Amino acid sequence: MESSKQVWSSICGYPGDPNYREFYKDIGYELDWNYIRPYVAKSGHRVDTGIKYHKITGKTAYKEYYNDSKAKAVAEMQADHFISSRIEQINGAAGKMKNPPIITCPYDAELYGHWWYEGPYWLYVLFKKIYYNQDTFKLITPSEYLDKYPDIQQCTPAISTWGAHGYNEVWLNPGNDYIYNHLNNAAERMQYLATVYQKPHKLQQRALNQCARELLLAQSSDWPFIITANTMVDYAHKRIRDHIGRFNALADMIDKDEINKKYLKDIEYKDLIFPDIDYRIYCYNKK
């Protein structure tokens, strides 16, 4: 919680520093419409351009101009602060543990570069400083740690999320709970397909891989989140219908061995996420 709060907290986290770039002031909305219109002509209305001139400054409508050098200097100081905080945390725990302590630092990836423009630079500086400027700890993944120290205490974490009130209510409530019957049915059918069709012909394999893609897209936590947040709700419902519908249509074709090449090609074009996916990851008994 400590390592997460230092970065992620909207109250005391690093991204809220007044010297960092202000996300919400974009020239697409700030500049005179007659000036900006030729650059957003295709949309016909104001849009985010990604060009932002101002820094956070503080809780005020008046925003000062952004200074890239100052922002980078702040990111470097915060990297030092993060490292010193972890060293203090590790030294405090080390004497009470059989194995060297491990601190997990989980963050939402879209924080870096999106909400926190300087986030990628902070990470870059942080990793360099960890490597060159201290010798108290090293970076490691949970899997690597378990390989080195397999004899550890087991525990069952409490059900929790980063959402409101720390539980699941953002993603599971009367407004979006209908999703999960469809997701569970699709997941079970994906396991069935992967187990039955372990030696598919080429077209079947393409369809099976696309089924896996559609399932993963349907399972995105964005859709129930958007429904709860009441932003672009129709879009979220549509994405769920589209991906579950495409999954079921392809699954039916596979079972009947009547795969529509044109339909499959169209879906592959629309939803070509994870181009190297292998549907066999869902297989019960791999041969």
Report the alpha-carbon distance of residue 33 to residue 47 in Å, rounded. 11
Report the alpha-carbon distance of residue 217 to residue 239 in Å, rounded. 8
Report the alpha-carbon distance of residue 14 to residue 193 in Å, rounded. 46
pLDDT, residue 194, reads 96
pLDDT, residue 165, reads 83
The percent of residues above 90 in pLDDT, for the chain, comes to 76
Report the alpha-carbon distance of residue 14 to residue 20 in Å, rounded. 9
pLDDT, residue 153, reads 83
Instruction: Pick 200 or 10 by higher pLDDT.
Output: 200
The domains of the chain are located at 2-148, 179-282
pLDDT, residue 160, reads 84
The backbone torsions φ and ψ at residue 120, rounded to the nearest 5 degrees and listed phi first, read -60, -35
Residue type, 240: I
pLDDT, residue 53, reads 96
**Cβ-contact 108, 8 below 8 angstroms:** yes
CATH superfamily of 179-282: Families 57/38 glycoside transferase, middle domain (1.20.1430.10)
pLDDT, residue 10, reads 73
Distance of alpha carbon 190 from its chain centroid, rounded?
23
Place of tokens 């050098």: 69
Token pair, residue 120, equals: 């990628």
Rounded mean pLDDT, 162-177: 90
pLDDT, residue 188, reads 97
The secondary structure of the chain as a DSSP string is: -HHHHHHH-TTTSGGG-TTSBPTT--HHHHS-HHHHGGGGTTTSS----S---BB--SSSS--PBP-HHHHHHHHHHHHHHHHHHHHHHHHHHHTT-SSPP-------GGGBTTTBTTHHHHHHHHHHHHHHH--S-----HHHHHHH--------PPP--SSGGGSSTTTSSTTTTTHHHHHHHHHHHHHHHHHH-SS--HHHHHHHHHHHHHHHHHT-THHHHHHHHTSSHHHHHHHHHHHHHHHHHHHHHHHHT---HHHHHHHHHHT--STT--GGGG-SS--
pLDDT, residue 4, reads 87
The closest alpha carbon to 207, from 144, 249, 163, belongs to 249
pLDDT, tens digit, 9 for 90 and up, residues 102-144 = 999 888 888 999 899 999 999 999 999 999 999 999 999 999 9
pLDDT, residue 231, reads 87
pLDDT, residue 286, reads 57
Instruction: Say yes or no to pLDDT of 21 above 80.
Output: yes
Q: What is this structure's pTM?
A: 0.70
Which of 60-64, 162-166, 278-282 comes out lowest in average pLDDT?
162-166
Residues 6+ apart with CB under 8 A from 67: 19, 55
pLDDT, tens digit, 9 for 90 and up, residues 48-88 = 889 999 999 998 989 999 999 999 999 999 999 999 999 99
pLDDT, tens digit, 9 for 90 and up, residues 224-235 = 999 999 989 999
Place of tokens 């896996």: 212
pLDDT, residue 275, reads 93
pLDDT, residue 224, reads 96
Report the alpha-carbon distance of residue 77 to residue 122 in Å, rounded. 9
pLDDT, tens digit, 9 for 90 and up, residues 216-262 = 999 999 999 999 999 899 999 999 999 999 999 999 999 999 999 99
Report the alpha-carbon distance of residue 164 to residue 157 in Å, rounded. 18
Rounded mean pLDDT, 278-286: 86
